[in-house]
């Protein structure tokens, strides 16, 4: 049953279910838009700043670090200070940092601004979910979270396509201009239509210290960390793919930014398909078996990808294994999250935050590695993806299966 507080009762914006779903869905996609929309312009950014591929990819790493750090800071901050004012503040920071990215004089300044942009973008991700929890419970909560998950799943597919369209009429700076305008529009809607959903009486007094304490308990839980590391490492492989493909597709295979956007979108569909397939198979097969299949499938696909890179195969033989790898991400991410959260009762919020934090942290490490040998080879990308996938499988086998191979919940799930 829907839980109505005073703010919701007195606000037409909160009462408009479709409008609220659209607004919160857009806020939840800020992370994907920040990471993916400028990808088609990365090679041009390297040329304009007269720098290396690896340094430009550090701008993606900086954004990832910002998104990771923002989650553990802004989440508790909004619990203590409310939702609307912190959200408006960080939307303003995001808009300003996007504008400044357009006029960054050096690659170093650009990287620093990308960190600020990522940090402020995490407010949309964290606070949108918190608002849903404030307003709804039970069936309504499930429905609204499903809409947000759909928006988050689609945004990595559409963001580079939109970036490619923008690049047809302007430079890479225009991408950040579009992000600034979009943020301004959303900020106006938030200011006018979104109520404060967390009353003063319900605000947290624990703050970051309690969050850190809970994180410590979770890190000591080997089963939980097995799932968390498996998901984090498999996502690190995806961030290597995200960081590397602009140079591989455009630099090595010579495709246009628009074709790159289409190829990226086609592979992105794999995440949606993998997640959808997992949801349907979970009623017929144990989730642990589905997870194992996804992990092994990802490793096989990454080995094929590395082989194709070594023999310098045509582009189609690069795109196919990448599609399979990304599809397996949809399987692994869904099952890991479900199984990890099953083991947590009282710490569900912090557990969810840690599960969201690790992919960004590990992705920040993997993203710059793909450019370590320059722009003329895709071998570092292939190796990084393969090593990340092997690490994900090892985490699952040694921290989950080895710790409790005969537990009933594991066999059932």
Contact 151, 29 (CB under 8 A): yes
CATH of domain 1-205: 1.20.1250.20
pTM of the model: 0.69
pLDDT (0 to 100) of residue 8 = 44
Of residues 174 and 410, more confidently modeled: 174
pLDDT tens digits for range 20-76 = 878 888 898 888 888 878 888 888 888 899 888 778 888 888 998 898 888 878 877
Contact 367, 42 (CB under 8 A): no
CA distance 375 to 54: 8
Average pLDDT over residues 281-290: 79
Q: Do domains 1-205 and 216-413 have the same CATH topology?
A: yes
pLDDT tens digits for range 314-339 = 999 999 999 999 888 878 877 787 77
Fold classification of 216-413 is Growth Hormone; Chain: A; (1.20.1250)
pLDDT (0 to 100) of residue 211 = 66
Q: Where are the domains of the chain?
A: 1-205, 216-413
pLDDT (0 to 100) of residue 206 = 61
Of residues 402 and 191, more confidently modeled: 191
pLDDT (0 to 100) of residue 28 = 83
pLDDT tens digits for range 111-125 = 999 999 999 999 988
Q: Is the pLDDT of residue 6 over 60?
A: no
Q: Is the pLDDT of residue 393 over 90?
A: yes
Percent of the chain's residues with pLDDT above 70: 82
């Amino acid at each position: 049953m829907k839980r109505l507080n005073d703010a919701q009762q007195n606000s037409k914006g909160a009462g408009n279910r479709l409008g609220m779903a659209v607004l919160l869905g857009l806020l939840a996609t800020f992370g994907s838009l920040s990471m993916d929309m400028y990808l088609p312009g990365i090679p041009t950014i390297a040329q304009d700043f007269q720098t290396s591929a690896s340094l430009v990819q550090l701008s993606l790493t900086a954004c990832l670090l910002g998104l990771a750090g923002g989650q553990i800071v802004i989440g508790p901050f909004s619990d203590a200070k409310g939702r609307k004012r912190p959200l408006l503040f960080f939307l303003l920071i995001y808009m300003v940092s996007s504008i400044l990215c357009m006029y960054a004089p050096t690659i170093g300044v650009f990287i620093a601004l990308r960190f600020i942009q990522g940090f402020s973008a995490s407010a949309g991700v964290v606070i949108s979910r918190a608002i849903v929890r404030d307003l709804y419970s039970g069936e309504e909560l499930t429905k609204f979270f499903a809409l947000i998950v759909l928006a988050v799943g689609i945004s990595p597919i559409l963001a580079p396509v939109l970036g490619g369209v923008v690049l047809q009429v302007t430079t890479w700076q225009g991408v950040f201009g579009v992000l600034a305008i979009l943020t301004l529009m959303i900020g106006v809607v938030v200011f006018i239509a979104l109520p404060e959903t967390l009353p003063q009486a319900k605000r947290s007094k624990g703050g970051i210290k309690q969050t850190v304490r809970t994180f410590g308990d979770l890190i000591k839980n080997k089963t939980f960390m097995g799932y968390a590391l498996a998901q984090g490492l498999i996502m690190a492989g995806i961030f290597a793919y995200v960081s590397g493909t602009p140079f591989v597709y455009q630099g090595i295979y010579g495709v246009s930014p628009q074709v790159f956007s289409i190829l990226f979108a086609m592979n992105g569909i794999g995440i949606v398909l993998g997640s959808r397939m997992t949801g349907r198979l979970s009623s017929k097969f144990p989730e642990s078996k589905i997870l194992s299949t996804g992990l092994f499938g990802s490793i096989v696909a990454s080995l094929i990808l590395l082989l194709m890179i070594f023999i310098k195969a045509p582009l189609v033989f690069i795109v196919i294994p990448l599609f399979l790898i990304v599809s397996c991400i949809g399987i692994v991410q869904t099952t890991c999250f479900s199984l990890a959260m099953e083991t947590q009762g009282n710490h569900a919020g912090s557990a969810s935050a840690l599960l969201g934090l690790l992919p960004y942290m590990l992705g920040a490490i993997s993203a710059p590695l793909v450019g370590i040998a320059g722009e003329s080879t895709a071998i570092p990308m292939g190796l990084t993806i393969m090593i990340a996938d092997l690490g994900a499988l090892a985490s699952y086998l040694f921290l989950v299966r080895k710790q409790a191979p005969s537990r009933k919940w594991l066999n059932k799930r």
